Amino acid sequence: MKEKSLRRIRFENVAAKRVQRILEYLDKLANCSNKNNYEYYEADVRRMFKEIKDRLNHTESLYKNELKRSNNDSFTF
């Protein structure tokens, strides 16, 4: 079995913690949906989730571009 590199181990540790933190913050944001405690409008919800989706799409594209770049290092015609 191939031994994990230090960079791989570091990625797994850091990424796992950051994803977990994002999920926890999304749970906290979900708590704000209670209309008994907060007042908000449909436009607020659209704007919030547009920003979240835009940032998520941007981040995903960074990963995909990096994967594509690293997979295309070989010569082709």
Provide the pLDDT for residue 66. 94
Residue 40 makes CB contacts below 8 A (sequence gap 6+) with 32
Provide the pLDDT for residue 71. 81
Low-confidence ranges of the chain (pLDDT < 50): none
> Domain boundaries in the chain?
1-37, 40-72
The two tokens of residue 39 are: 């007042």
* pTM, full prediction: 0.81
Q: Between the CA atoms of 8, 10, 11 and 16, what dihedral angle is there, to the nearest 10 degrees? A: 130
